Chains A and B, each alone.
Chain A
Amino acid sequence: MNILKTYKIYIAGQFPRTESGRTYVVNDAAGNPIANVCQSSKKDIRNAVQAARKAFGPWSERSAFNRGQILYRIAEMLGGRKAQFIEELIQQGQTIERAQIEIETSIDRIVYYAGWCDKFQQILSSVNPVNSSHFNFSVAEATGVVGVLADEQTGLLGLVSQLMPVIAGGNTVVFIAAEKSPLCAITFAEVLATSDLPAGVVNIVTGFANEMLPTLAEHMDVNALYLSNASNEIVKSTQLSAVDNLKRVVVVNEDWNQEKAQGIAFISSFQEIKTTWHPIEQIGGATSSY
């Protein structure tokens, strides 16, 4: 007899059950039940936001080099659990060939963003030649807590593709897993939990998007929202919910299997530009004109 896995949610580095005690059944492609998964509540969302906020300061202030090391470690840990992910992807309806490609592409994508952690700032930043005696420069800083709604089309690759650029940039995340294929998201949380990523940087909940998304989108301590291949209705209602604290709402329609579905633009969407001015003393007659 098989031991069936209990899929729990991931908040503040812990794996609690939903506080609501509810579960829903996830079926395989043929319609047979394969797991009971937490049907998370609004309260779980609020707990996750709190954890993400607490983790934001330390994570965004970590050295970019260190963030890169941690992302690379995530890729390593995922590589060590390929078989489990392939099995889950197949359970959720993928062919074995597609599942293998998905896991390989996912690992590559994490490595790709690991490399960006200490580089994107140099591309997004500038020293600005102002017309006065000031040193003036602009740098990119993380936007804050980002709420991500999973792409329903891909269980693992979509998750990795959305998540990595956001955390590479120093943000923290509340991630609502794909409703019909949440298994990889929870197993991926186990990868995160064992890969030096500080607790609370990524929080993953499972359940019904129409129940959780409005709470996340209205939450006044969330700074940005990220939708991928979402319906027009979801995009519009999320944009409306986001107005009260002027969340940045990022909407993409990407085929995550494509190589072009990665890049610095996915990082810069969740960055703010900060410009600093400092006077330059102008006394004395010495010049630099050797």
Chain B
Amino acid sequence: MTDSNNTWEYAPSLEGTSHIQLKEKYDLFIDGKWIKPSNNRYFDTINPATEEKLAEIAWATEDDVDLAVMAARKAYVEVWSVMKASERAKYIFRIARLMQEHAKELALIETLDGGKPIRESRDIDVPLACNHFFYYAGWADKLQDAFPQRNIQSLGVAGQIIPWNFPLLMAAWKIAPALAAGNTVVLKPAESTSLTALKLAEIIEASGLPAGVVNIVTGNGDTGAAIVNHPDVDKIAFTGSTAVGKLIQRAVAGTAKKVSLELGGKSANIVLEDAPIDQAVEGIVNGIFFNQGHVCCAGSRLYVQESIAEEVVRKLKQRMGSLYVGNPLDKNTDIGAINSKEQLNTIEKYINIGINEGSDLFQVECDLPSKGFYCRPTIFTNVAQSSVIAQEEIFGPVLTIQTFRTIDEVIQKANNSPYGLAAGVWTDKGSRIFNLTSKLRAGVIWSNTYNKFDPASPFGGYKESGFGREGGLHGLEAYLK
């Protein structure tokens, strides 16, 4: 039997897209209205699985951002900050409900615009996004109970910039706690994945949320910079790369802006010799191949105890052989399209670096669609701690595998990274789990599981993975004085 031998052929099971409603052209959602960008410029958003154009998206200028911030300020002062908290809660509940009603459409658009498998957008992204609004809605009139030690106050206008890997979910992570805490919002989705945020804007419009409480401005990095540098923004919340996070920190130095950053990672997934190996292999696959590896907390550094390394790698390769790579709309698909050509180039660059560094490459031998951006699931063995591919965030389906002998050794290796977002630990022994989880310097630790998320669960990093938490009671902190 070859490692990639796939004896489980399924007939394609494509999700239909006939009932989704996409406009040809999307304007900016400012002050409750759809407004053309001041320079009248638009850019295309494409389906990375087919390279076909989906729609045109407005490119917000500095003037447009200024308009959005003014609308948000006006809504903050006149409406949102003076509204009874229980009323605020009801608006957020209503948004959650409307999102649930549009769940199917949101999932399809997410998959079309971003390339992720429909199974993931349907079962993970969209339900989590709805639940996030539902969770935070209930906090709106209980804020003082969350922080009884102090007199809580909202911040004002929150500028929020989100990435392309979980477009709708990140919009929910940003908007829901901001609104619950009494702030108004100017949100910029990522350039390549604006559509679900714009659908969310339509839902917000339909919800009757007062004009200007949420404003959605689309565009590129310049639009993001205009938000960060705007003097009337009180809070910046950013999820994205560590490099951009540092630019933001520089830009806000010396200002009164409150900042929360959720940045990159190179998270260690650690398998000890007493781990349930088949479960661990599933966890490794989920850790690195979930969402094509476009996950800030991806378990991209695998550490396997030496005594079981051969077995784990053999079973991993075998399991990789049964992964379906291809059309994201196919309900069988495990690994969809890489989000953009640019990102595919980055991933391929790192794969070449790994080969040139002398690490051993293994890729599944599967057919890839002729159009669109795809990358085969990739693992590297014979990797050194100092290898570039073991140190830098690749943000793709590329795993490095290293071995270790003692617990102390793996704690040192795992912590030897400027990042500190997440880690995984696989072992059957409870006391060992708590030893490791308390010594790993990371904000989220999954023991005997990986890549689980929940609105009630605080998420965020140590060190250069950023600061501030999203989710749970701790996630409110980022939006309160």
Contact = CB atoms under 8 A, between A and B. Distances in A.
A126 B254 contact: no
A245 B442 contact: no
B459 A244 contact: no
Contacts of B444: 274-277
A236 B254 contact: yes
Nearest to A129: B456
A132 B452 contact: yes
A277 B457 contact: yes
A236 B253 contact: yes
B42 interface: no
A277 B467 contact: no
Contact of B253 (A128, A132, A143, A243): A243
A246 B254 contact: no
Interface in A269-290: 272-279
B467 A244 contact: no
A243 B249 contact: yes
Given A126-B473, A128-B454, A132-B452, A277 B150 contact: no
A144 B455 CA distance: 28
Contacts of B374: none
Nearest to B422: A275
Contacts of A131: 131, 454-456
Given A276-B445, A277-B445, A246 B249 contact: yes
A242 B259 CA distance: 14
A134 B443 contact: no
A233 to B, nearest CB: 8
B149 interface: yes
A239 B253 CA distance: 5
Interface in A215-242: 223, 232, 235-236, 239-240, 242
B474 interface: yes
Contact of B466 (A232, A246, A263): A246
Interface size class of A (residues with CB under 8 A): 35 or more
A278 B433 contact: yes
Contact of A128 (B263, B418, B456): B456
B448 interface: yes
Given A128-B457, A134-B452, A275-B457, A248 B467 contact: yes
A129, A244, A265, A272 — which one has the most chain B CB atoms within 10 A of its CB? A272
B115 interface: no
Interface string B453-474: 0111111101110110100111
B291 interface: no
B144 to A, nearest CB: 15
A136 B454 contact: yes
B405 interface: no
Given A239-B254, A246-B466, A138 B458 contact: yes
B460 A279 contact: no
B228 to A, nearest CB: 14
B463 A245 contact: yes
Interface string B254-289: 100000010100000000000000000000000000
A240 B250 contact: yes
Contacts of A132: 452, 454
Contacts of B457: 128, 130, 136, 138, 275, 277
Contacts of B456: 128-131, 136
Nearest to A268: B477
Contacts of B292: none
A238 to B, nearest CB: 9
Nearest to B249: A243
A274 B253 contact: no
A277 B437 CA distance: 10
A236 B448 CA distance: 44
Nearest to B443: A274
A130 B454 CA distance: 6
B255 to A, nearest CB: 9
Nearest to A248: B467
Interface residues of B, number: 42
A275 B459 contact: yes
Contacts of B464: 245-246
A132 B437 CA distance: 20
Interface in A95-123: 123
Contacts of B249: 239, 242-243, 246
Nearest to A140: B474
Contacts of A242: 249
Given A130-B454, A274-B445, A275-B443, A265 B460 contact: no
Contacts of A35: none
Interface string A124-151: 0010111110101010010100000000
Contacts of B463: 223, 245-246
B437 A273 contact: no
Contacts of B442: 274
Contact of B472 (A126, A223, A232, A276): A126
Contacts of B404: none
Nearest to A263: B149
Interface in B428-453: 433, 437-438, 442-449, 452
A264 interface: yes
A244 B250 CA distance: 10
A223 B464 CA distance: 10
Contact of A272 (B242, B447, B459, B462): B462
A276 B454 contact: no
A272 B448 contact: no
Contacts of B466: 246
Nearest to B446: A277
B254 A243 contact: no
Interface in A243-273: 243-246, 248, 263-265, 272-273
Given A138-B474, A223-B463, A275 B458 contact: yes
Contacts of A239: 249, 252-254
A228 to B, nearest CB: 17
Contacts of A143: 462
B246 A246 contact: yes
B182 interface: no
A61 B454 CA distance: 29
Interface of B: 131, 149-150, 242, 245-246, 249-250, 252-254, 261, 263, 418, 433, 437-438, 442-449, 452, 454-460, 462-464, 466-467, 469, 472-474
7 contacts: A130-B457, A132-B454, A136-B454, A244-B246, A246-B464, A246-B467, A265-B150
Return the 8 tightest CB-CB contacts between A and B, nearest first. Answer: A236-B254, A239-B253, A130-B454, A128-B456, A276-B445, A243-B249, A240-B253, A278-B447
Given A246-B242, A277-B447, 9 more contacts: A126-B473, A131-B455, A131-B456, A132-B454, A246-B466, A246-B467, A274-B437, A277-B445, A277-B452
